[in-house]
Amino acid sequence: MNFLLMICPFLIARNPIYSHMNTTFEGLTVIRCFARQSYFEQLYYRYQDFHTSVLFSHICATRGFAILVEWLCVSYIAAITALLMTTGDAVGGLNGSQIGLSLSSCILLVGVTSWGVECRADLESHMASVERVVAYTKLHSEFELGDQKEPEGARFWRSKQTLQLQQQQQKQPQQQQSSSCPFITDGKIVFDHVFLSYNQVDAVLKSLDFTIAPRSKVGIVGRSGAGKSSIITALFRLVDITGGEILIDDTNIRNIPLETLRSSISSIPQDPVLFSGTIRSNLDLYGDRGHFTDRQLWQALEEVQLKSVLVEAGKDLDSPVHEGGDNFSIGQKQLLSLARAMLQQNKILILDEVKLSDNTNVVLFLSVMAVFCSLTFLGDLKS
């Protein structure tokens, strides 16, 4: 049992090394900028020493347990041999061949026992991954489409929306369908005495009550931890509010399916998000449904003044985008996110502490925002 308990520390001691290496590679530029190479080297050596000590203990426990099993088998064979020698005549007079067969069968027990213990240890080691998967399956998940635990209003809204889309497709079968949600027509946002808590104890938002008129441009200002991002979190229903209600165009978002709600609100996050794939797949999030043509995609890139940059670099819509958009600058990733928001044509746009890289991008950003003059603009600003 002690040997089996050594498996989990051995696996746990290996994870900090991988995590530290991944963090070091991602922040290599910052580490060199502040001349902290020696600190991260020492930190790596510390993790490596801990892993080596645990690995050495693991190997010692493995060898020690194997020797213990072999000695137990040797003791068992010695006991059987002594028993046959002293009681052979009493059990019917066993001859030499029968005694030899009995001893050879006992000797096989040594190999079988060692192999069985090794298999048991390997099973315990590999079951650690299965244990993690089982733990993930028990995490609280959001309401999925058609989930019986979903609010009744959301299921009613989905059936109503499906009927409206079918009628619209029958009337306009050749036209491109917009990805925006039909329930948002003006973009009016109402927070009615909203309470939000992450730990069910301390409320981050306490009786928050305000109204944002349609097509308004609102900036949220406050110190760090004041709850600016929590307002956006509540609006997207990333965390369920504990009190009050949030209305969009007089519709309680609690009664709107999550997929419909989130696809109807455009967002440019604090750190621009690009997915592994192509420029087309990052702009047209509904590409599998054929929402946008190449002309519409190029037009959006031209409005944010990225088309000329991509053409000069010899890139097109099918050019690859690396993981996290590493082959694009911060400013280019911001403009791609802005172009994506323009294509969605939603009535609500949210900016979460967007970082502008230089003065040129500030001027460009303000000029492009004129395109969004007909929607509700909600910005999370730093004080």
Within 8 A by CB and 6+ apart from 334, the residues are 268, 272, 354, 355, 356, 357, 361, 365
Q: What's the domain range around 377?
A: 189-382
pTM of the model: 0.60
In 3D space, the residue among 234, 248, 233 whose CA is nearest the CA of residue 183 turns out to be 248
Q: DSSP H helical segments within the chain, as ranges?
A: 2-5, 7-26, 28-33, 37-87, 96-137, 152-171, 228-235, 258-263, 279-283, 294-303, 307-312, 330-344, 359-368
* pLDDT value, residue 1: 42
Do 231 and 315 share a domain, yes or no?
Answer: yes
322 forms beta bridges with none
For 149, other C-beta atoms within 10 Å of its C-beta total 7
Residue 166 covered by a domain: no
Find the mean pLDDT for residues 281-296: 75
Which CATH number fits the domain that encloses residue 195? 3.40.50.300
DSSP per-residue letters across 37-66: HHHHHHHHHHHHHHHHHHHHHHHHHHHHHH
Instruction: For residue 174, name the pLDDT band (cuts at 50, 70, 90).
Output: very low
Do 326 and 200 share a domain, yes or no?
Answer: yes
Find the mean pLDDT for residues 207-233: 85
Asked if residues 193 and 209 have their Cβ atoms less than 8 Å apart, the reply is yes
Do 121 and 218 share a domain, yes or no?
Answer: no
| Residue 138 clears pLDDT 60, i.e. is over it | yes
Instruction: For residue 40, name the pLDDT band (cuts at 50, 70, 90).
Output: very high
Instruction: For residue 173, name the pLDDT band (cuts at 50, 70, 90).
Output: very low
Find the mean pLDDT for residues 184-193: 87
Task: Give the pLDDT confidence of 332-372 residue by residue, as tens digits.
Answer: 887 888 888 888 888 888 877 665 555 545 645 665 566 66
Task: Give the pLDDT confidence of 313-331 residue by residue, as tens digits.
Answer: 888 888 888 877 888 887 7
* pLDDT value, residue 42: 93
* pLDDT value, residue 67: 83
Residue 231 covered by a domain: yes
Q: Which residue has the tokens 């599998």?
A: 288
Residue 213 covered by a domain: yes
Do 215 and 312 share a domain, yes or no?
Answer: yes
Find the mean pLDDT for residues 60-80: 82
User: pLDDT averaged over the chain?
Assistant: 76
What distance lies between CA 80 and its chain's CA centroid?
A: 59
In 3D space, the residue among 222, 226, 223, 243 whose CA is nearest the CA of residue 234 turns out to be 243
- β-pairing, 265-268 with 320-321? unpaired
Do 23 and 125 share a domain, yes or no?
Answer: yes
